[in-house]
Amino acid sequence: MARISVLDLRKKKADNDKIVMVTAYDYTMARLVDRAGVDMVLVGDSLGMVVQGHDDTLPVTLDDVAYHVRCVDRGLARAHLVADMPFMSFQVSPEEALRSAGRLMQYGGAQSVKLEGGERSAPAIERIVEAGIPVVGHVGLTPQSVHAMGGFKVQGRSDQDAERVVRDALAVEAAGAFCIVLEGMPMDVATEITSRLSIPTIGIGAGPSCDGQVLVCYDLLGFDLAFKPRFVKRFAELETTIIGAMEAFAAEVRQGEFPGPEHSFRRKTPRKVAKLY
Ligand code: KIV
């Protein structure tokens, strides 16, 4: 089965066909989301928070992302695989950005890379695109700038700030990105960006007018019921299901009910135990 290409994704915008993107970090989840028919799978640097347990995405390294991209790639038959460029893998220079992007493609098996930032990231995007690597931009709430933003805060609330976010999106398109994530911004700002860009916009906390939507897989599956930001909709509550299943397993082991004969192996002719006395 052919993987979804950048051309297929551009066509979806032209056809008004919404793009579905979700994060995944391992082979098992990748297999499931691919079977569900999602269009794009992002190995996000959100792995720093949901897989590694950090408070933000800053500790994630290029090797961390490359490893997870490689695992996810093995689980996909159809979905387009995007590798996130972690903090400090593209900020120092366009050359270093290209080297980092190349590693995610060559070692990880990604089909495109994503990097945060608008005007300031345009030279890095241009350099990567020039080398033939498709780039997904990411503007608005950019988690790698958590300290500069004073927290994970919605961007573009004032007129002046909204103009900055729109300028960032235009700069990403002009630099050659084929797609852009719009994160954490008022929906009218995302609507304006979506109508002004010819590349598809994928929203997260950016309202319904984007050309597609992305969520972190564990958020939409309800792995952590204590975490419920406004932009997340839970399509399952697996925290309850998983804890229930683990408790049932523990109880059966402790009561000697598991494993039963149906989970155990037999020899055709059971060995007689010789009597010693
Ligand atoms: O790292 C990530 O998972 C992301 C998405 C939330 C867009 O950047």
Q: Which residues are catalytic?
A: 183
Q: What would the mean pLDDT of 89-111 be, rounded to a whole number? A: 98
214: Cβ below 6 Å to ligand 1? yes
What's the CA-to-centroid distance between 266 and ligand 1, angstroms? 49
Q: Is the pLDDT of residue 85 over 80?
A: yes
Torsion of CA 152, 153, 154, 156, to 10 degrees: -120
Position 268 scores a pLDDT of 85
How many angstroms separate the alpha carbon of residue 68 from the centre of ligand 1? 14
Report the separation in Å between the CA atom of 256 and the middle of ligand 1, taken as the mean of its atom positions. 44
Residue 183's closest CA among 205, 161, 164?
205
The pLDDT assigned to 157 comes to 98
d(CA 275, CA 241): 49
Ligand 1, atom 4, residue with closest C-alpha? 44
Q: Mind listing the pLDDT tens digit for each residue in 248-257? A: 999 999 999 9
pTM assigned to the model: 0.96
pLDDT of residue 9: 98
At 229-242, the pLDDT tens digits run 999 999 999 999 99
User: Rounded to 10 degrees, what is the CA torsion of 38, 185, 65, 1?
Assistant: 20
Q: Cα(45) to centroid of ligand 1, in Å?
A: 6
Closest residue by CA, ligand 1 atom 3? 44
pLDDT at 272: 75
Regarding the beta carbon of 216 and ligand 1, being less than 6 Å apart is answered yes
Atom number of ligand 1 nearest to Cα 23? 3
Q: Report in angstroms the alpha-carbon separations of 255 from 243, 245, 258, 260.
A: 18, 15, 8, 11
Q: Which residues does 113 contact at the CB level (< 8 Å), separation at least 6? A: 82, 83, 84, 85, 101, 104, 105, 128, 133, 134, 135, 136
The finding on whether 23 has its CB within 6 A of some atom of ligand 1 is: yes
What local confidence, expressed as pLDDT, does residue 275 receive? Answer: 73
Q: What is the mean pLDDT of residues 159-171?
A: 98
The predicted pLDDT at position 97 comes to 98
To test the ligand 1 pocket, which listed residue (25, 46, 64, 139) has its Cβ within 8 A of the most ligand atoms?
46
Residue 99 phi, psi dihedral angles, 5° rounding: -60, -45
Residue-wise pLDDT for 180-236, tens only, equals: 999 999 999 999 999 999 999 999 999 999 999 999 999 999 999 999 999 999 999
* 60 C-beta closer than 6 A to ligand 1: no
Q: Are 200 and 226 in contact (CB under 8 A)?
A: no
